[in-house]
Amino acid sequence: MWRTYSAGVMVLSYKYVNNVAHESDKVKEVSQRLFREFMEKMNSIQCGYLKKAYRKEDIGCSNIIIKTAEILDKLMIE
């Protein structure tokens, strides 16, 4: 989860930060929303839980990555 979350924060930073991240409260706000919404949808951020619940032998952790991308897409549109 942390890799997809980190990638999501990078995308959000690109959208909301002009120079220095600490100058923008918006990036902190949307990063926290990304985290909260992921927790609501997936019930955990723990890799062990996520793998047991969502990992498939043929596609690996793609479902986790896709869910993170869907949440990120929603946040980018807002």
DSSP string, the chain: -HHHHHHHHHHHHHHH-SS-GGG-HHHHHHHHHHHHHHHHHHS---HHHHHHHH-BTTTBTHHHHHHHHHHHHHHHH-
pLDDT at 38: 94
pLDDT in tens, 6-59: 899 899 988 888 887 677 788 889 999 999 999 999 999 898 999 999 999 999
To the question of pTM greater than 0.85 for the whole model, the response is no
Instruction: Map out the domains of the chain as residue ranges.
Output: 26-78
pLDDT at 59: 96
